[in-house]
Structure 1
Amino acid sequence: MAKLEIAALGPLQITIDQAPVSGFISDKVRGLLVYLAVEQPRPLRREALAALFWPDQPKAKALANLRRALANLRRVIDDENGRFLYITRQTLQFNADSQATVDAIQFAQLLGGGEPTLAQMEGAVKLINGRFLEGFSIDDSIAFEEWALLKQEQIQRQLLHTLNRLTAYYQAHHQPEIAVRYAWQQVNIEPWYEPGQRQLLRLLVQTRQRAAALAHYEQFQQELADELGVRPEPATRHLYEQIHQRQLEITADESSPAFLAEPPSTTLQPFVARAPELARLHGFLETAVAGQGKVAFVTGEAGSGKTSLLQTFARQAQKQCPRLIPLFGSCQAHIGPGNPYLPFRMILAHALGDVEALWRSGVFSRAQANRLWHLRQTAVALMQDVAPDCLMTLVDALLLPEDLPPTAVVKAPPQEILFQQMTHFLQQFSQHGPLLLLLDDLHWADSGSIDLLFYLQRQLAGYPILLLDTYRPEALLPVPPGENQHPLARLVHELTTNFGDIEVALNRADGREFVDAWLDTEPNQLDESFRQTLFSQTQGHALFTVELVADLQESGELWRDPNGIWQVGELVSLSHLPTKTEAIIAERFGRLSPSLRQLLYAASIQGEVFVAELVAQVVNRPIAEIIQSLSGPLARGHRLVRVVGRHLLGKETVSRYRFRHSLFQQYVYGRLDPNERAYLHQMTGELLVQLYKTADVALISAAAELAYHFEAAQTLSKAVHYCQLAGEHALRLSAHAEAINHYHRGLALLSSLPETPDRIRQEIDCQLALGAALLAVHGYAAPEVKEVYDWAFFLCGRVVATAETVTSLFWLTSYYAVSGDLAQAVLVSQQMLAIADQESVSAMHQMQAHVLAGLPLFFMGCNEEALAHFRQASSLYDPARHQPMVYTFGQDPGIGAMIWQGHVLLHIGCIAEARGCLQQALDWAAMLDHPYTAAFTHLLAGGTPNVWYVWDLATAMGHVQTAVQLAQEGNFAHVLALGTFYLGYLKAVTCLLQQGDIDEESVAEGFALMEQGMTLEAEIGSKLGLSSRWLLLADVHRQYGQIEQAWHALQQAEMEAYGRRELYFEAEILRLKGELYLLAGDVAQAKASWQKAIYSARRQRAKTWEHRAEAALQRLG
């Protein structure tokens, strides 16, 4: 069968079986073929095509011209039996399944539908032969020319983006010869894009074309002057000067970090007796590299060698698989759960090039560290594409390129979004090399990291990712009744249940084998008696064995003869060997000079990792002396610490060290008495504040650490302040559980302070912050939310705190309304309104008061009173001034007021005015980048009004689907519950209203969704508006012919309405009751129900319900 080929990415070429096609009567016929081929996903109306190509002709003549062109086209391309074109009386469409290729469609397919692979990007670039339809035009069709221009610009943007990524990829993978070809294409397409020009200049130097680089710059400079009358950007001029003065090295290694030019600072210890464990890990990796993502655990007590096993495995794995990308993360003991997402923030830091510590510790070879460092540009570009919120919230800004456009984080992204983006980034990054994610010490992890692990482990299938975690098994031991199990226990249980034995347990390893293997790492004549005694003392515990042997060697009880062979000394006293690791550490610590001990005491205050500059200030000694002591006797001599490396902290650079094991830090810290600890914590905290200020780094990022120091120092007012700041930081990361813990800790500390007005105000602030975090996790109707705002309100009565009082009463009104106690909600809202009206509070607080005053009144059927409050709130609303405050208050009361005003107007029959209000709410929400407000508005301004009042089911479905999607992404429990219910209702009713046979399966699915939505409501304690949901459920059962179920649901609606005075749909309940009586043949009861409905509607001034009930009554004649 003949094959048609249309090449439009360059000069237009149309061929059949590689032979040029001729016989077109005009370029418009060629243009028609191209337009149909490029727009093939959709049918195109004949009238639109005629107007496109013959815009100046009358409609009839234009359609005749189209028919003539179509006949010519079909003849020329041999469109027998419509093999290339679908033709109807109304539309034309290109057959996407035909034996035809269209390069523009291939280009779009290669780069669309998710993240393109390297091969797809290269394939797309090969299709380009010039600009789209280069040299082709239809002069008398402006619309066609505009379409071609827009398509050309769209393709050019995609092409430039792809060329940029290909250039960065090959540059990062040390293939500058390939990268420079793509860089040339990039600047030829868009010569004024100077980052691309700088990329090309660097690559020309790397490929030993320095003269070409200089000549190209001079030509570019001249063209800029001639064409635009400007000079190159300063960065481009500076790069030229570097090249001209030979300050830019010729080889690609010039862009390697400076630390890689230094000799390794760490001598790796032998790693022995773990062959079975390493073999299992390599088996896990082999499975993962094959594209079957894998999770495994390494377990063992402190000092058993978990971290050493991970590091050795990583080194071996990189040798076996050079493309492997190992990324490390670990958790801290002294802050622990108070540091949200720490292991994943470390993983991202390593992916973005922060690899000095891993290089210095010997985990990476020079080549491996260099490769990962060069992948940082790829990682940044990938995060910009698929994880922008993670990039801005979880990554230290100092790791980002200087030319990266700044992005202000105005709100905390929902936790679900962070999880999705982090997962997408790791999935896509694994396409540049299999990922080995190593997470150490998960027994100290925060709950957010555990939740992210839960999410991530379910998304690994199909990706070359091995997730390897370590923890101490004692952390997962059963706990007494009433205490909470470690959050890691649930993850371990789920994974072992689903995947079987994925644990590598070092506690079950052969201890005697380890003792022998360690002794035999050097030549020796150590006899069986010594070996067995050593094993009896240490039981093969890795750290204990290593340190005890080192101690015996240092003391001379083990000695090396002239041939370099270790012997047992004559004076060795095997009966007096230490029995614990701590005893070994104590002996080594006891051999230190007083000045070295003082230094380690100060270091231990900071935790396992510490900053030398802070230690120097605490002990009041020169930093050079401190670094000499740490890197010299303490690291190489006594082997108590090791070098981590230099770290950029804002404008400052600090020197970081680490205790060789957490047990060393714990021992040194434990030697301090309470007074010494408090003093050193106080001093360290104050110096840390000063360091962050000098470095120009926001204190919020160190708030958890500062809270820890000041609490330990018993400086409680500062500790409380930093607990609140740490809670705020956690909220910015959507780590709500960690935020709640910080606020609870702050409140616990406040309780021990004397009661003063300042302390009360600080407690009010802390309670309100805690309430906001609890609302995000538990919803409006949670008892713990009420408890917090009750206490905050009580505290407000003891000091002058008007705005805080209004805020407390606002959320208490919300609690009572959503939990169904409308009468109490009215009482509390009246109290709130009285304070807002009498005292000097902001317009934002007054709006809050009026919206919440009107809400319970509306649900109770008091339409006129409710409307007055909503209108008063709307009159105070200034979108430009008040919308930015939504991120502080959590909701936009102006939009809420407009929504509820629309609902009341619909009840009272003012349909046109109501539509205006609801559309205004939708428009305002569209202007506001606030997912919760968007979800809430789509549901209540676009969804439910079209269900109850306007009866536009298609429009309602679109809004409800959008609301549900936003609620799922943002974990908005209340909106998700309501949206799920209405999604089910619309699905069921749409099926029941269709002509022909009923789709029973779809109706059943609708009922299931309605039930699911009501279950979700019950789980969060929400009851507001529940009578209306039972009413809708009853009506669907009635339409489906399930009369018994309809009666049951209607009775539930009555119980909710009359039991809680939720009477806003009382008239509709009575009207539907009449319909059910009529179906049962009881006309008298039906008539009585409709008369009651009319009376109820008139009492509420609800004209809409009154007219519906009157219409029902009129049917009886």
Structure 2
Amino acid sequence: MERGRQILFHPFRLDTGNERLWRGSQVVSLRPKSLAVLRYLAEHPGRLIARKELLNAVWLDTHVSTAALKVCIREIRGALGDNPTTPQFIETRPRQGYRFIAPITPTQLVQSAKCKVQSSQSAFRFGLDLPLAMHSAFWPVGREEELGQLQRWLEKALAGERQVVFITGEPGIGKTTVGEAFLQSLESSVQSLASENHSVPPQDFQTLDPRRQTLDANLWIARGQCLEHYGVGEAYLPVLEALGQLCRELGGERLIEILDQYAPTWLAQMPALLNAADLEALQRRIQGTTRERMLREMAEAVEALTAEKPLVLVLEDLHWSDYATLDLVSFLARRRQPARLLLIGTYRPAAVLVDGHPLQAVKPELQMHKQCEEMPLGFLTEAAVAEYLAVRFPRNHFPAELARVIHRRTDGNPLFMVNVVDYVAAQELIVEVDGWWEAKAGVEAVEGGVPESLRRMVEQQIDGLSRAEQQVLEAASVAGAEFSAAAVAAGLEEEEVQVEERCEGLARRGQFLKSSGQSDWPDGTVAGRYGFIHPLYQNVLYDRVTVGRRLQLHRRIGERQEAGYKERTGGIAAELAVHFEQGRDYRRAVQYLWQAAENALRRCAYQEAINHLTKGRALLKTLPDTLERTQQELTLQVTLGAALITTKGYAAPEVEKTYARARELCQQVGETPQLFAVLWGLWVFYFVRGELQTARELGEQLLSLAQGVQDPALLLEAHVALGPTLFCLG
């Protein structure tokens, strides 16, 4: 066999030279004969292979029965997680044979990427062989130029010149697909090196930590996702997701060490990575955290991290990002220190313009100073559509007009194109005859049978599912872009196992969902985790749910997650706030909005905190006027006042208005320890404004309160307030 040749079919890589099957960085165990059967099938994709041909190819002159072949096929399916009734990789034709149906790269066999150590520059480079295999629904056809440009930016990053790149385009244009194709090529490079036992000696890197004798891998690769409904209010959500992912992977202990040394305020935001004693000690170390400190710490951590290994960080859907994440992206882009960092962000320009998103101002500012790059994705050409058809249906007799018709109907939008091809195949407008695909009723029938819009196309695909599958998907659209099967089961009031089986079936067929591992809740619930292949699918499904049923689903899902997370609900406070707000349980929505604001304040994300608190105050107005509501509003006002001081300044009119309202609420509530914080907020407002007599009166009230409870800390704060006031008065 030739060494270094591989067959890629997402998410697997068959290394024929070393006779190994890989999934990510893990070797998938297969017996030699089973591996040989898989290789033969994968080397002849789309073709029906008779049993006799397979037996002759794998067992040569040895006489064996078809039972041996069936055992191999069963083992292969188990290794791939393939369901024989709804196959994703190997299709069985009764009494005929087997067909490999998963898409692979157009060239089918790809030379494994080589890593070249360049001692003179203390850097290493990856060679990309493009295009590479992608998600089963879509090849990145027509994107060779874009992938090549990403490779050139990576080469700059490897040389120590940090790169911030924005991939932009309308929904369905392929932003995620291009990014995933690029990352998959890098991961394949790392796997090839691992399979050939290549390593990079530490002495070839001037800045490599001497405690590490070998590199576990040659790149840090991390992904973070901004979420439509609650991502805007969850400070640093995609960054923390990416960091948490890296920390839990092989070699993540080193990243935790770096965060502990350079960015302890960030490590404290991921308590699951630490034991109770270490977390308590860490929290004592980070007293007095500020926004500027968090930004500086992460920048220094990235520079320390990339001195050891380059980092490729992808942040998806920045048009749904929080303000704090954009602050960090901007801060990292502006730093002048060397860093082997490639940061890729994707977003929709139209969404940024319509919503007045801060990215609208951030990107032009960075571009003006040559601190970022933009890669807008255009529509696919007719030639790219023809290439897609050739890749997806390797043996076909399609007329050239077919690609032209599909291009004309879809305008070259990749997602629309894929769905159109799925549709015409499902409607049997294109069929397979004797191993060859052909247009059954001519191109005219294809053009006339295709829905006019992508949204209508998705609607028809949903209508083609069973009612049980539709209900699962609709409930899943309420649960979120990514969700636990347990949450969906709660919404539907069905058994978790049944719901998970439906989700798994859809994911295996590549319909609407993809598998994202498993979710483990604090109450011991373990269930499959899934996500929508594209946000458009979630949006269409969500819009299908009637208002009353949507309300019911949100409330049930929120209640189940609340019970499942027990005392750790604070970690998903923003998500719970959305579910209870949409479920019209405003009391609990306000409670979790306040917790989400507290989370944001701990991350020094003041604008996010203000947004949560402002929404909470608005929701409170819908509740009956009770003492409980008054107490909730008081808590919101006190927290809001602190956030406004930081963002607007001590003497801002909003600060006075907020604390004045809080003082009124204190009078309604009666004796409350929150009065001290309220009076202090008013004192600092009047003191900075120079209204010293009012400030003196407030300072005396603070001192009286502190003396009444004999709290040393409060006494100190009261004297700190009253002392300067008296000094200024003379």
Q: Scaled by the length of structure 1, what TM-score is found?
A: 0.49
- Aligned match of 1:463 in 339, 343, 350? 339
Q: 656-665 or 519-528, which moves further after superposition?
A: 519-528
Deviations 1:907-956 (A, max 9, x none): xxxxxxxxxxxxxxxxxxxxxxxxxxxxxxxxxxxxxxxxxxxxxxxxxx
Q: 1:673 to 1:285 in 2, by over 3 A?
A: same
What is the letter of the counterpart of residue 714 of structure 1?
R
Residue 491 of structure 1 corresponds to 362
Larger RCO of the pair (alpha carbons < 8 Å, separation 6+): 2
Residue 228 of structure 2 corresponds to 333
1:753 paired with 2:623, answer: yes
C-alpha contact (below 8 Å) 1:327/1:436 kept by paired residues? yes
Residue 617 of structure 1 corresponds to 490
1:655 paired with 2:655, answer: no
Residue 454 of structure 1 corresponds to 330
C-alpha contact (below 8 Å) 2:264/2:282 kept by paired residues? no
Residue 677 of structure 1 corresponds to 550
1:605 paired with 2:478, answer: yes
What is the letter of the counterpart of residue 700 of structure 1?
G
1:643 paired with 2:515, answer: yes
Structure 1: stretches of 5+ with no match in the other structure: 1-260, 354-372, 862-1117
| Distance in 1 of aligned mates of 2:487 and 2:372 | 45
C-alpha contact (below 8 Å) 2:613/2:640 kept by paired residues? yes
C-alpha contact (below 8 Å) 1:588/1:638 kept by paired residues? no
1:845 Cα deviation (Å)?
Answer: 4.8
Residue 411 of structure 2 corresponds to 539
C-alpha contact (below 8 Å) 1:436/1:465 kept by paired residues? yes
C-alpha contact (below 8 Å) 1:430/1:463 kept by paired residues? yes
Q: 1:380 to 1:749 in 2, by over 3 A?
A: same
| Distance in 2 of aligned mates of 1:396 and 1:828 | 39
| Distance in 2 of aligned mates of 1:308 and 1:763 | 45
Percent identity reads 31
1:445 Cα deviation (Å)?
Answer: 0.8
Structure of larger gyration radius: 1
- Aligned match of 2:678 in 791, 803, 808? 808
Residue 538 of structure 2 corresponds to 665
Q: 1:460 to 1:513 in 2, by over 3 A?
A: farther
What is the letter of the counterpart of residue 295 of structure 2?
F
Q: 1:412 to 1:637 in 2, by over 3 A?
A: farther
| Distance in 1 of aligned mates of 2:679 and 2:357 | 36
1:836 Cα deviation (Å)?
Answer: 6.8
Deviations 1:6-35 (A, max 9, x none): xxxxxxxxxxxxxxxxxxxxxxxxxxxxxx
Residue 144 of structure 2 corresponds to 275
Residue 515 of structure 1 corresponds to 385
| Distance in 2 of aligned mates of 1:631 and 1:802 | 53
C-alpha contact (below 8 Å) 1:526/1:568 kept by paired residues? no
| Distance in 2 of aligned mates of 1:681 and 1:412 | 37
| Distance in 1 of aligned mates of 2:522 and 2:445 | 53
C-alpha contact (below 8 Å) 2:363/2:372 kept by paired residues? no
Deviations 1:410-462 (A, max 9, x none): 54632222222222222222233221111111111111111111111123642
What is the letter of the counterpart of residue 610 of structure 1?
F
C-alpha contact (below 8 Å) 1:812/1:828 kept by paired residues? yes
Residue 626 of structure 1 corresponds to 499
| Distance in 2 of aligned mates of 1:405 and 1:700 | 16
Structure 2: stretches of 5+ with no match in the other structure: 1-77, 83-87, 89-101, 103-134, 194-217
1:84-95 alignment, distance < 5 Å: none
1:149-168 alignment, distance < 5 Å: none
| Distance in 2 of aligned mates of 1:310 and 1:430 | 20
Residue 860 of structure 1 corresponds to 729
| Distance in 2 of aligned mates of 1:728 and 1:405 | 18
- Aligned match of 1:705 in 570, 575, 579? 575
What's the secondary structure of 1:304's corresponding residue?
coil
Residue 407 of structure 1 corresponds to 281
What's the secondary structure of 2:141's corresponding residue?
coil
What's the secondary structure of 2:346's corresponding residue?
strand
| Distance in 1 of aligned mates of 2:428 and 2:719 | 83
1:702-781 alignment, distance < 5 Å: 702-781=572-651
C-alpha contact (below 8 Å) 1:720/1:750 kept by paired residues? yes
C-alpha contact (below 8 Å) 2:168/2:349 kept by paired residues? yes
- Aligned match of 1:592 in 462, 465, 473? 465
| Distance in 1 of aligned mates of 2:158 and 2:373 | 17
1:316 Cα deviation (Å)?
Answer: 1.8
Residue 662 of structure 2 corresponds to 792
C-alpha contact (below 8 Å) 1:813/1:852 kept by paired residues? yes
Deviations 1:247-291 (A, max 9, x none): xxxxxxxxxxxxxx9547785433211011111111111111122
1:831 Cα deviation (Å)?
Answer: 5.6
1:1030-1109 alignment, distance < 5 Å: none
| Distance in 1 of aligned mates of 2:705 and 2:255 | 53
| Distance in 2 of aligned mates of 1:378 and 1:802 | 47
C-alpha contact (below 8 Å) 1:344/1:449 kept by paired residues? yes
| Distance in 1 of aligned mates of 2:461 and 2:500 | 20
Q: 790-799 or 732-741, which moves further after superposition?
A: 790-799
C-alpha contact (below 8 Å) 2:686/2:695 kept by paired residues? yes
| Distance in 2 of aligned mates of 1:403 and 1:763 | 35
Q: Scaled by the length of structure 2, what TM-score is found?
A: 0.73
What's the secondary structure of 2:436's corresponding residue?
coil
What's the secondary structure of 2:530's corresponding residue?
strand
1:435-450 alignment, distance < 5 Å: 435-450=311-326
| Distance in 2 of aligned mates of 1:538 and 1:708 | 35
What is the letter of the counterpart of residue 305 of structure 2?
F
| Distance in 2 of aligned mates of 1:795 and 1:291 | 56
Query: CA RMSD, aligned part only?
Result: 2.6
1:503 Cα deviation (Å)?
Answer: 1.4
1:346 paired with 2:241, answer: yes
1:499 Cα deviation (Å)?
Answer: 1.9
Residue 184 of structure 2 corresponds to 315
Q: 1:579 to 1:675 in 2, by over 3 A?
A: same
C-alpha contact (below 8 Å) 2:237/2:325 kept by paired residues? yes
| Distance in 2 of aligned mates of 1:662 and 1:407 | 41
Q: 1:543 to 1:569 in 2, by over 3 A?
A: same
1:612 Cα deviation (Å)?
Answer: 0.6
C-alpha contact (below 8 Å) 1:282/1:317 kept by paired residues? no
1:619 Cα deviation (Å)?
Answer: 2.1
| Distance in 1 of aligned mates of 2:576 and 2:150 | 39
1:577 paired with 2:450, answer: yes
1:835 Cα deviation (Å)?
Answer: 6.8
1:345 Cα deviation (Å)?
Answer: 0.7
| Distance in 2 of aligned mates of 1:336 and 1:417 | 23
What is the letter of the counterpart of residue 295 of structure 1?
V
Higher strand content, 1 or 2 = 2
What's the secondary structure of 2:610's corresponding residue?
helix
1:432 paired with 2:432, answer: no
Residue 108 of structure 1 corresponds to none
C-alpha contact (below 8 Å) 2:167/2:374 kept by paired residues? yes
What's the secondary structure of 1:755's corresponding residue?
coil
What is the letter of the counterpart of residue 370 of structure 2?
F
- Aligned match of 2:219 in 316, 320, 324? 324
1:804 Cα deviation (Å)?
Answer: 3.1
